Chains A and B, each alone.
Chain A
Amino acid sequence: MPEEFNPATTEDDLTGRFLTFYIDNAVYGIELTHVIDIISAQEVTNVPSTPAYVKGIINLRGSIVPVIDVRLKFNIPEREYDDHTCFIVVDIDDMQVAIVVDTVDEVVNLDNQVTASLPEFNNVNTKEYLRSISKVDNHLVLNLDCEKFLEDGNGF
């Protein structure tokens, strides 16, 4: 786990920092202020009557946390969970949700990086949930808009 998760780190230090993760070959970023925990993949209890991208619920140290598969949410074919698969537990508006990603990459500071607004995408479903695109070193990071990512109920 990166040392940024030290609880002594104040929130100020976290703003502008992003946790990046991979889905397929694309790099996505998520604001570090939202991230509570990163855990390895574990068994998920399926909850019927929910959309497919809601994988179910897990027991995170006694509290029940729903699990959302980013691949399914973005209409990317699902793949088996493996050793690299991670659940990133995020807290948005006091709602805790674990999102499933292929693998977690690193924590980057995007303040000084070139950030551009979104170009046209073919994949409308993905674009809806993105806030901006940044260039870090020599690759692009797609910044996830967590609020939008979780808010909609029309994903059925």
Chain B
Amino acid sequence: MSVFDESMIPMLEVFIYETTTLLDQLDEILLEAEKEKILTDDNINEIFRTMHTIKGSAAMMGLTSISTLAHRVEDMFSILRETPSKMNDQNRGHIFDLVFQASDFFKSEIEAIQQNGDDYYPADAGSLIVEIEQEGAEMKGEAPVTPKPQPSPAAQPAAAQAPDQPAQPEPAAPEASPTPAAEEAASENGLHYVRVFFEDGCQMENIRAFALLSQLKDSCGFLESEPHAPETNMACSSDIVKNGFLVMFRPAPSSSLEEIYSIIENAMNIKSYEDVTEEYGTVSAGVAPAAPAASSVQPAPASAPAAAAPSAEAKKAQPQAAPQPQPQPAPQAAPPKAPQRAGGAGEGGIGRNALGKQSLISVNQSKLDQLMALMGEIVIAESMVTSNPELKGLQLDNFYKSARQLRKLTNQLQDVIMSTRMVSLTGVFQKMNRIVRDMNKNLGKEVELVTVGGETEVDKTINDVLGDPFMHMIRNSMDHGIESPEERLAAGKSEQGTITLSAQNVGGEIVISIADDGRGLDRNKILEKAERNGILTKPASDYSDKEVFGLIMLPGFSTNETATEYSGRGVGMDVVHKNLETVGGNISIDSKAGEGTTFTIKIPLTLAIVDGMEIAVKHDTFTIPITSIKQSFKLSEDTQLLTDTDGSEMIMLRGDCYPIIRLHEVYGIDTEVVNLEDGIFVQVENENKTACIFVDQLIGEQQVVVKSFPPFLNRYNLKDAGFSGCTIRGDGSISLILDINNFLNKF
């Protein structure tokens, strides 16, 4: 039997997506705050809100374990929100740990839901809940042992678990406190009314309405809505869909009306909004300001249960509705305080909201993949038309003019499609922060992770593949690379180790490096181990440093004698290698004993379409990626040609000597162009070698769509022979794409 209500299933995906996003943000805040050793008011509010949203949506999905835990964390932070001083040096670490644990629990639950779907059974967060309750109790200065939560939180879980029942009969909304009413009375004319309509079919309108309220909260001195407290009542979603969501507010002193409208405008999933101040404002104005409840739509918060909304009673079933002797500020409960917060730190908060609420939509990745594949077909089809052999020799000025226009547009289209698939590495980098933090705690090391260039964007496919390799490499660096603080001090280094994770865009490649300032790789130890495993193919002394370090990429190779929790089984670097290979990347290792190790990863920016130079050898065409080409040239009379004792040919260019690779020879093609004067040279380079490839002729530059070889050919190891794939040319024939890196390594 499924734990999910039938009607909830369609919302599951949205729930998972939103909760995951929230949790990622939460981790980010926590890590940042832990580093700074202080939780700002902003942070506390943010965490509080996050927990509140998770609680609400989890309860809606019927996920009691998640909502209860979120609720407890929310409780804990509500205390902190009231009195930030409750968090001191002694308990700070513990609080962070608790929230991290909670975040982990949520994540594992979400993962379980994703994996098991209908067969998901909630895990028990009991012990964690008790711990958090204790912490909360301690902060409040009560007896630490509270197996049973104190009255108020006890009442709240019930409400949280069953939010769509009017569990709390008394509509004692916090807003009923005299302050807002008084304020409202004082400045009745300053009230604005806006009716918001959400996008059709965006679902969970009530939660979205609540999200909007939370965003507005900081900028509004007074804020009320109809339906009231939408997040607590699923049923009001349909009302919102039908009648719109009415927001009543008065701007805080620090915020202008424009700011508020721009928040509304930029909020997610909003279809339209209209200013209805006149409609309501005049009605209210006509009535005594202190009792505006007379109108059918109530600007006055306390009187929500009146005529208009039959479900008003249910709406009151918000978890915060309990009579609160102790501080229990619901998000809406603190309008009088809002201006202070907005004044203090509101700027950053608003800025962030505005940034995060660009008009984003989430699209299924398979659709983007499809779009990409179609784009590839269009590029091929376009060149099939424009370089159709039947057009040869015809005078077609207008045709070529239109063709150029088409080319321009397809190029633009391609750029746009590519850019939709680009995501920044920030997310992946962020996860590494978390790993470093946990390992620091467990290994007793002090390592700081410095990230540079997290904003670098890569294709989504690449981004997905990078997480695991990064994790393994960071683990390796932390476990093997960086020494214990004592060792570091003894070696004359600072106690704190540093791992630098940096990414940058170089040419057509993403270059990512992971550098630690640890002990470095031990050449002799690696060789010794390799010799014992019998993987050396030549005398140990013949190995260059690069080759030696390359050995650690082999599966099952670990110099650690014992496997630890984190590394040493020899699987990690193999995973790194395999994952990178799937996206056409490569890795190189550089290390200096005592100074540290640097892993450098290079990945081509895009996988699907490359700019290539097409060359011909007899009837066969090959494509060389433009990024690998330095220049192409014909032999001039004064170019010096050399032949060494092995008979290999060399060419002298501007004082440097480069080997000549005759493509027809290495691939056994029987061509008439064998005289170096008759053909043309293409000078290509990879990271450690430059050579000149001799071909019959250049055909021209062409954007090509990379197609992988059919699986039948996998057995022939074409990658090692210097091919990365093939492409269909404009006339329907096939051209093989050279992988210059492998090509130069082989020939």
Contacts and interface: CB of A to CB of B under 8 A. Distances in A.
Interface of A: 43, 45-51, 54, 57-59, 62-66, 94-97, 150, 153
B710 A62 contact: no
A45 B712 contact: no
B709 interface: yes
B734 A45 contact: yes
A50 B667 contact: no
B310 interface: no
Given A59-B732, A64-B726, A46 B669 contact: yes
A95 B712 contact: yes
B717 interface: yes
A96 B735 CA distance: 19
A45 B728 CA distance: 11
Interface in B713-744: 713, 715-718, 721, 723, 726, 728, 732-736
B734 A58 contact: yes
Contacts, number: 67
B68 to A, nearest CB: 48
A64 B734 contact: yes
B733 A96 contact: no
B92 interface: no
A46 B620 contact: yes
Given A45-B733, A45-B734, A66-B712, A59 B728 contact: yes
Interface of B: 377, 380, 620, 666-669, 707, 709-713, 715-718, 721, 723, 726, 728, 732-736
Contacts of B734: 45, 57-59, 64
A48 B710 contact: no
Contact of B668 (A48, A54, A64, A95): A48
Given A50-B716, A57-B726, A64-B734, A45 B620 contact: yes
A150 B714 CA distance: 12
Residue among A46, A96, A97 with the highest chain B CB neighbour number at 10 A: A46
Given A64-B709, A64-B710, A65-B710, A48 B667 contact: yes
A130 to B, nearest CB: 20
4 A-B pairs with the lowest CB-CB distances in the bound complex, closest first: A48-B667, A49-B721, A45-B734, A153-B715
B713 A62 contact: no
Contacts of A49: 667, 716-718, 721, 723
A7 B411 CA distance: 38
A78 to B, nearest CB: 15
A135 to B, nearest CB: 32
B710 A54 contact: no
24 contacts: A45-B733, A45-B735, A45-B736, A47-B713, A48-B666, A48-B667, A48-B668, A49-B718, A49-B723, A50-B716, A50-B718, A54-B716, A57-B709, A57-B713, A57-B734, A58-B734, A59-B734, A62-B377, A62-B728, A64-B726, A64-B734, A95-B711, A95-B712, A96-B710
A55 B715 CA distance: 15
Contact of A47 (B377, B728, B736): B736
A145 B668 CA distance: 32
A153 B668 CA distance: 21
B726 to A, nearest CB: 6
Contacts of B728: 59, 62, 64
